[in-house]
Amino acid sequence: MEKAKILLEALPYIQKFHNKIFVIKYGGHAMINKEAKNWTAQDIVLLKYVGINPVIVHGGGPEINKAMEKMGKKPEFIHGLRVTDEETLNIVEMVLAGKINGEIVSKISKFGGKAVGLSGKSGRIILAKKKKKFIKNDKGENIEVDLGRVGETVLINTELLDILINNNYIPVISPIGIDEKGEAYNLNADTVAGDIAGALKAEKLILITDVDGIMENPNDKNTLFKKLTVEELKELINSEIITGGMIPKAEAAINALEKGVKAVHIINGKIPHALLLEVFTEEGIGTMIVKE
Amino acid sequence: MEKAKILLEALPYIQKFHNKIFVIKYGGHAMINKEAKNWTAQDIVLLKYVGINPVIVHGGGPEINKAMEKMGKKPEFIHGLRVTDEETLNIVEMVLAGKINGEIVSKISKFGGKAVGLSGKSGRIILAKKKKKFIKNDKGENIEVDLGRVGETVLINTELLDILINNNYIPVISPIGIDEKGEAYNLNADTVAGDIAGALKAEKLILITDVDGIMENPNDKNTLFKKLTVEELKELINSEIITGGMIPKAEAAINALEKGVKAVHIINGKIPHALLLEVFTEEGIGTMIVKE
Amino acid sequence: MEKAKILLEALPYIQKFHNKIFVIKYGGHAMINKEAKNWTAQDIVLLKYVGINPVIVHGGGPEINKAMEKMGKKPEFIHGLRVTDEETLNIVEMVLAGKINGEIVSKISKFGGKAVGLSGKSGRIILAKKKKKFIKNDKGENIEVDLGRVGETVLINTELLDILINNNYIPVISPIGIDEKGEAYNLNADTVAGDIAGALKAEKLILITDVDGIMENPNDKNTLFKKLTVEELKELINSEIITGGMIPKAEAAINALEKGVKAVHIINGKIPHALLLEVFTEEGIGTMIVKE
Amino acid sequence: MEKAKILLEALPYIQKFHNKIFVIKYGGHAMINKEAKNWTAQDIVLLKYVGINPVIVHGGGPEINKAMEKMGKKPEFIHGLRVTDEETLNIVEMVLAGKINGEIVSKISKFGGKAVGLSGKSGRIILAKKKKKFIKNDKGENIEVDLGRVGETVLINTELLDILINNNYIPVISPIGIDEKGEAYNLNADTVAGDIAGALKAEKLILITDVDGIMENPNDKNTLFKKLTVEELKELINSEIITGGMIPKAEAAINALEKGVKAVHIINGKIPHALLLEVFTEEGIGTMIVKE
Amino acid sequence: MEKAKILLEALPYIQKFHNKIFVIKYGGHAMINKEAKNWTAQDIVLLKYVGINPVIVHGGGPEINKAMEKMGKKPEFIHGLRVTDEETLNIVEMVLAGKINGEIVSKISKFGGKAVGLSGKSGRIILAKKKKKFIKNDKGENIEVDLGRVGETVLINTELLDILINNNYIPVISPIGIDEKGEAYNLNADTVAGDIAGALKAEKLILITDVDGIMENPNDKNTLFKKLTVEELKELINSEIITGGMIPKAEAAINALEKGVKAVHIINGKIPHALLLEVFTEEGIGTMIVKE
Amino acid sequence: MEKAKILLEALPYIQKFHNKIFVIKYGGHAMINKEAKNWTAQDIVLLKYVGINPVIVHGGGPEINKAMEKMGKKPEFIHGLRVTDEETLNIVEMVLAGKINGEIVSKISKFGGKAVGLSGKSGRIILAKKKKKFIKNDKGENIEVDLGRVGETVLINTELLDILINNNYIPVISPIGIDEKGEAYNLNADTVAGDIAGALKAEKLILITDVDGIMENPNDKNTLFKKLTVEELKELINSEIITGGMIPKAEAAINALEKGVKAVHIINGKIPHALLLEVFTEEGIGTMIVKE
């Protein structure tokens, strides 16, 4: 009886999100252990089977660092910014497309989902170009720095994703882009996830990370914002309450919402089944951001 | 967390029954009150939204009796068998197709399902003919009795049902048949449900009634059979442990299983959300019958 | 030879109306006897087979009155207006969806057509709400009267009808509506037929009734208007030449024409094969109303 | 009323032949004047609009003879058989594909049908090869004679015809074939019509000629056979009651029936609207041949 | 290796024109001998197989003249303009639709293409009307002359062509038009080709003729214009550098470009494989005309 | 002119292989430098654009060895056989799916093809299991050795490949398999390519390697076998003329041919455009193996 009730509590959400697309950014910091990877995969498969179309974009920071160390590759910096040279890009691709992507595909497959691992180069999903980056020099002048093979999105080609979604596959995308000449670039996974959510006119963009959401005081869980509007979010950025790695997430959220995504969620992947709890319960467990 | 677990417990069933058809016979005796009608409708809608295709066949005995009384129509009998004359058939159709069918459609619609109420005459779904009935007279001879407009299935035309199912509608069917000349017949709802399940190559036939299932001693719930094979079921009929109104149910079960339906369930519609509990839990709550 | 000529006379009409939709309101007063029901069904089937898509909306006034009497249900009135209480609505649904609808389906089936009987609740074809009715009290003030379960159209959902038409079924619709909460309402069949014709962008709305059409003097057949424009029709209403039961028909005609229906016909169903004669002969037999 | 009756008399035939294919061989001798061409075209268009799919194969003997004369081309003979040399084939193609085919297309278009004129070379509809012909010489030996560009069917490619039929076009085919090397051949139109009817699994093959059908005594209309079986037809050939130009028609009929065509009709195109009368009346006007 | 290089040189063109339509006007003067007919057919088939959709419109002036002579038909003139009487139209149709069209179909078939020969009457591809022609009389007044059955395009119906193209057929069209009443007209093939290219939104219109292209001095090949804009082309007409038979070609080019065709080519069909060389090489061999 | 001839020489092959599938095994030893990678990619894109459907399976031996060295991973051996432990499998996946696959996708994209890089785990394309390997011990007994994560094909799931091919994508597959539990395995690329060719009912399996084909004496190019039957190939294996790395290629060829592939080609990827030359010229450049 209790079981039936819980299943039925999910019904309105299942109905509301029927056939809708959820873009899920699965961050490297949330892949803490085998259990966490299992429950996230299981949640994704459940979403699929109740009629929601998940599209996964993954990160992989910690693994990349480990691999670089192992390969004896020293990080380079210009003006304090990390540079991605050719060799670094190779390692990034190997870790993202060759390791993490495959692990996620394996896990989803294990729980009965039909996953397809894709680099953003495939079908030119992520058409990219070299990212222009300017910093201020000592004289306060804007000067361009060359960060190497760091890219930014030019266009998301949705054709291949549409085909896969319509055939009930779950795309799992590495944030590697390609330009017209076939050159590869490394992109920020949060930003790419926002771009993809916007291009696919997704219902939701869900960022799975290792914090509970946006908090007034990151050390006090009681200061978690349950719900924010874009206006409020921008205010929090301006007033520097949001800082560091949360900045690209907040910007991806704003970008996605402005392109028509209905809601963006930031949740803590270390909480078991955070994804299901956020989607299928009234109260949720993280921060939800909506247009207004 | 508990919630997530319960949702995930349902996952293997959701996967297994994805895109499968469940024919659900919703008996008049199970429509005990507004609450029961609500929970059954809710369960049906949930099945639909998690990817299962429910097809409803309803009965309506108690309501028919009430209406006949109200209209001052006396039941007729020949050799102890009830006769369906033209006027009775009219009342039966009015109650089944004009009242009960519409109520079920309303309830499913209320909970967000797209129901289509159909008499078996529509699209000649239930092609029928007059049922031949023989009884033994005093001398032990077989003589035919004329039960009037009582029919039996000649053929189930699945075209219309296939179209509706493929377009995500939930068909709700009254057990009225039609012959080549456009004449209507009243059919036993259990039997028709079995015929339809067989014709649609349904995964399951679920008979919602007002008892807990097949019991060795109908007065002792502890004697419920959780699982039976066709062989065992036939044995129970032969040994007259199954009697009365359970006979057509048992026969419908055997018929459906022989036509390829994977499992038949007999459950008690007076138990809240019996349908969900039977389908989505390991233990179930009624009797499941399988081929072997 | 004569036969060939008559078949060929129909050719230009068959070509002109190829694949077009005709909404046919089949009024209860036109269902005078078995023969009339047969010829109307035959005409409908012929229309279908020569490539026209008929959609039937039926009434049923006389049968409802008979059933209410039989069930000992007294009509209620407020300020001289008939009230549809819950019990009356039940009887209305039983007669319309359970008796008359089924009879039409049977007849069409008998002549080889594939009919599907539908209440307006199915697939929420007729999304309705409680009708607001105001009357003037003694002081000349507008006061609202509660007519109970009498409804008006909010929206016609054409999805289900489109699917059935595209699959060569003939929908037969009872004028029962449903609201978001699953509550049923009784609607005026002429009005609903006009709404459906408008929503389906029908070529024609044909009202089969028991008079020859719109006449200057209802007692003199020679005063029949063969053709009217909307302007002229409104004039006839204003000048009170059109009165009584012809008012909702005239209003349905105006409504349909304003929603894009090309022509509305009012014909006498007591004339054998009135439908064919109106559609396939130059002169027609009733009143045709066009936009201008 | 009379009109309605005649339309309804056609209904059972319209239902029976709904969506079926009729291959109609329209012989040159039946194209006696403008009126006859008009009524045949009109009949074909009516068939199309009531849901039957006509496919026309035409002949053109008399016109070919006229054109050859005009061009000063003398007929050649070997052992008494007419020879089709290159130049003759050119004239045949010009008359069939360039004149008669176009005239039929024009007439059908005039009455509102969508006709497509096709040589059998288009889409390799009629894959042909040189016909082998043997005659007995004075010594009773079989010797082969070279009839030049006379061909016989190797295979009917139905792809193009299926596409046109499914898109509601009426194919009008000249009996010119093509071999693998692109060489053209002249084929007997009756024979080709039978081959096409067989390949398309047509319901009927109708041969429009200038006699009333198969008659015991060709000069006595009272000896017309209304209906024959293949057995009886073969008997009539063996007993030489069927002779001359009726032989290829009879053989085409047998061939078509053996390939699954349901009935073959031989009718007199000089009778106005012979086609409609044969198809839509009980009695018909020519000879119908069925398998048994 | 050399071979591989040449194949790869074609790759950018193959990619650029993938799935695009080329309307090819194949002029009678370019059909100089069997070899020329073979290489043109081969080129067309190659275009098709590398993913381009060719649509052929053919002319046939020289053959028509020959046939008229043979049939003893004297050309008629009014005010110096050739008149197409009924008999002449018959000959034109016979030669175009019955001879030349069939020859092209045969050749394409021989090299493995699926060609469909069509008169512009089929599917009313070329809806035409009588062409109005005015000349100045002695007094400088405009007077109308009756050129008989000479027509001009009213509308190109692309439905049939679209169906054939989508099913991988190569349409081969004779420039014969039809009006609403089924009357045929003879049209200028260059003009029709331009109309068809415009209606199909073709990528290219290619006019295969017997001169190298547009030349400043027709006797000096070195004065060939490789590329012209519409502006420049109009200038050449105004300055009477373009004259005679090149005028309708130039006008067809302007018409097509204004309807959205990307480029028009005029090439010399006497040069072996002129079509391939023009399409698949950087330099081309004729005159290319573009909008600007 | 020469150019046109060479294009036309390819025509019969383009026609013959239209819409057929070529599975191309692109071996790591053939990826000798940037130029070789470019010409192979270009050839693949040309195949696609002339209507052939290439499916790429790649190897990567040399790169894997380099990466292992770099990561300080020592190869393990049991009984002289290389063992793939978990860590080795990780490196294999990173190099194959994360580096080489992406490079091929980039190159194809650069030349205008739509490539999709896929691990065999995606869509469970390569359903695999642990490979059983037996060796003889000193006593001549068969004993099983545990080679770790080396797998063999259980089943090729073609669904995802079919979808991609039908949508004009070029699948590029890494030879990594997955089992029901989501565990990954490393498979021999030649063997997998043969399995995929068989499952897709490919027209050809083309193995691009670094030798000219099968040679009687590997050091003498003049001993190249241009064409072999399966029988002859088996003979060459038995007589130990074929040895070493050519064995799995020969076995893959036999396997593919027995599953219905029409021809297997072994070619030298160090020869520029070897792929085009083998496919589009009469003489070819490598060894072709056919069933008989």
Residue E7 C-alpha, separation from nearest chain F C-alpha, in angstroms: 6
Q: Give the residue-averaged pLDDT of D260-287.
A: 94
Q: Residues F89-121: pLDDT tens digits?
A: 999 999 999 999 999 999 999 999 999 999 999
Residue D78's pLDDT band, with cuts at 50, 70 and 90, is confident
Q: Give the residue-averaged pLDDT of A134-139.
A: 87
Residues in Cβ contact with F200 at an 8 Å cutoff, skipping those fewer than 6 apart: F21, F23, F55, F156, F158, F161, F162
Output the pLDDT for position D5: 87
Element (H, E) at E250: helix E246-258
Name the residue with tokens 């292992």.
Answer: F68
Q: Residues D7-52: pLDDT tens digits?
A: 888 899 999 999 999 999 999 999 989 999 999 999 999 999 999 9
Q: Give CA–CA dist B169/C69, Å, rounded.
A: 37
CB E78 within 8 A of CB E144: no
Q: Give CA–CA dist B133/A88, Å, rounded.
A: 85
Residue F79's pLDDT band, with cuts at 50, 70 and 90, is confident
Residues in Cβ contact with A27 at an 8 Å cutoff, skipping those fewer than 6 apart: A58, A59, A61, A189, A190, A207, A208, A209, A210, A269
Residue D158's pLDDT band, with cuts at 50, 70 and 90, is very high
pLDDT higher than 90, residue F232: yes
Could you say which DSSP state residue C224 is in? B
Distance of CA B81 to the CA centre of its chain: 22
Output the pLDDT for position C137: 83
pLDDT higher than 80, residue B80: no
Output the pLDDT for position A136: 85
Interchain proximity A273–B50, CB inside 8 Å? no
Output the pLDDT for position C136: 85
Q: Give the residue-averaged pLDDT of C179-205.
A: 96
Q: How far apart are the first and last CA of chain B?
A: 38
Residue C7's pLDDT band, with cuts at 50, 70 and 90, is confident
Q: Give the residue-averaged pLDDT of F19-45.
A: 95
Q: Considering only the beta carbons, identify the residue of C2, C4, C277 that sits closest to D4.
A: C277
**Chain A CB contacts of B10 below 8 Å:** 7
Output the pLDDT for position D137: 83
Lowest mean pLDDT among A125-134, B71-80, E126-135, F37-46: B71-80
Q: Residues D84-114: pLDDT tens digits?
A: 999 999 999 999 999 999 999 999 999 999 9
Q: Give CA–CA dist D5/A91, Å, rounded.
A: 84
Q: Residues C39-88: pLDDT tens digits?
A: 999 999 999 999 999 999 999 888 998 998 888 888 787 877 778 999 99
Residue E2's pLDDT band, with cuts at 50, 70 and 90, is confident
Interchain proximity D49–C14, CB inside 8 Å? yes
**Chain D CB contacts of C109 below 8 Å:** none
List of domains in chain F: 51-285 (3.40.1160.10)
pLDDT higher than 90, residue D283: no
Q: Tell me the one-letter amino acid at C20.
A: K
Partners of residue E151 on adjacent β-strands: E130
Output the pLDDT for position E5: 87
Q: Tell me the one-letter amino acid at F113.
A: G
Output the pLDDT for position D72: 84
Residues in Cβ contact with C111 at an 8 Å cutoff, skipping those fewer than 6 apart: C38, C41, C42, C45, D11
Q: Residues B186-221: pLDDT tens digits?
A: 999 999 999 999 999 999 999 999 999 999 998 899
Q: Give the residue-averaged pLDDT of C6-11.
A: 87
Q: Give the residue-averaged pLDDT of D138-165.
A: 94
Q: Residues F129-140: pLDDT tens digits?
A: 999 988 888 898
Q: Residues A139-176: pLDDT tens digits?
A: 989 989 899 999 999 999 999 999 999 999 999 999 99
Interchain proximity E184–D106, CB inside 8 Å? yes
Q: Residues B84-118: pLDDT tens digits?
A: 999 999 999 999 999 999 999 999 999 999 999 99
Q: Where are the alpha helices (DSSP H) in chain C?
A: 2-16, 34-49, 61-70, 86-95, 101-110, 159-166, 189-199, 230-238, 246-258, 274-280
Output the pLDDT for position F58: 98
The percent of residues above 90 in pLDDT, for chain C, comes to 79
Q: Give the residue-averaged pLDDT of E4-9.
A: 86
pLDDT higher than 90, residue E227: yes
Residue C190's pLDDT band, with cuts at 50, 70 and 90, is very high
CB B238 within 8 A of CB B178: no
Q: Residues D222-253: pLDDT tens digits?
A: 999 999 999 999 999 999 999 888 999 999 99
Q: Residues B222-270: pLDDT tens digits?
A: 999 999 999 999 999 999 999 888 999 999 999 999 999 999 999 999 9
Q: Residues D169-202: pLDDT tens digits?
A: 999 999 999 999 999 999 999 999 999 999 999 9
The percent of residues above 90 in pLDDT, for chain D, comes to 79
CB E44 within 8 A of CB E106: no
Residue A263, CB-side half-sphere exposure with 13 Å CA sphere: 14
Element (H, E) at F255: helix F246-258
Q: Where are the alpha helices (DSSP H) in F79-133?
A: 86-95, 101-110
CB E233 within 8 A of CB E290: no
Output the pLDDT for position B136: 85
Residue E129 C-alpha, separation from nearest chain F C-alpha, in angstroms: 41
Q: Residues B27-76: pLDDT tens digits?
A: 999 998 999 999 999 999 999 999 999 999 999 888 998 998 888 888 78
Interchain proximity D105–E115, CB inside 8 Å? no
CB D104 within 8 A of CB D117: yes
Q: Give CA–CA dist F30/F47, Å, rounded.
A: 19
Q: Give CA–CA dist C55/C118, Å, rounded.
A: 11
Q: Residues D50-77: pLDDT tens digits?
A: 999 999 999 988 899 899 888 888 878 7
Q: Give the residue-averaged pLDDT of A167-192.
A: 96
Residues in Cβ contact with E275 at an 8 Å cutoff, skipping those fewer than 6 apart: E24, E40, E43, E44, E47, E206, E208, E267
Q: Considering only the beta carbons, identify the residue of A7, A18, A51 that sits closest to B7.
A: A7
Beta-carbon contacts below 8 Å between A and B? 90
Contact B281/A at CB under 8 A: yes
- Nearest by Cα to C59 from C210, C243, C274, C284: C210
pLDDT higher than 90, residue A249: yes
Output the pLDDT for position C72: 84
Q: Give CA–CA dist D251/D246, Å, rounded.
A: 9
Q: Give the residue on A whose Cα is nearest the Cα of B42.
A: A8
Q: Which two tokens stand for residue C110?
A: 């008998």
Strand pairing class (B133-136; C76-78): unpaired
Residues in Cβ contact with B233 at an 8 Å cutoff, skipping those fewer than 6 apart: B214, B242, B250, B253, B254, B289
Residue E149's pLDDT band, with cuts at 50, 70 and 90, is very high
Interchain proximity E7–F51, CB inside 8 Å? no
pLDDT higher than 90, residue F161: yes
Q: Give the residue-averaged pLDDT of F206-213.
A: 96
Interchain proximity B42–A15, CB inside 8 Å? no
Interchain proximity E51–F46, CB inside 8 Å? no
CB C44 within 8 A of CB C104: no
Output the pLDDT for position F82: 78
Output the pLDDT for position D196: 98
- Nearest by Cα to B192 from B164, B165, B153: B153
Q: Give the residue on F whose Cα is nearest the Cα of A87.
A: F99
> What's the pTM value of the predicted model, to 2 decimals?
0.92
CB A261 within 8 A of CB A290: no
Mutation target for C interface from D18, D38, D50: give the one with most C CBs within 10 A: D50
Average pLDDT, chain B: 94
For chain B positions 122-141, those within 8 Å of chain C (CB to CB) are 122-124
Write b or e for each residue in B200-219: b if 16 or more Cβ atoms lie within 10 A of its Cβ, otherwise e: bebbbbbbbbebbbbbeebe
Residue A7's pLDDT band, with cuts at 50, 70 and 90, is confident
Interchain proximity E11–F42, CB inside 8 Å? yes
Q: Residues E62-96: pLDDT tens digits?
A: 899 899 888 888 878 787 777 899 999 999 999 99
pLDDT higher than 80, residue A80: no
Output the pLDDT for position C46: 95
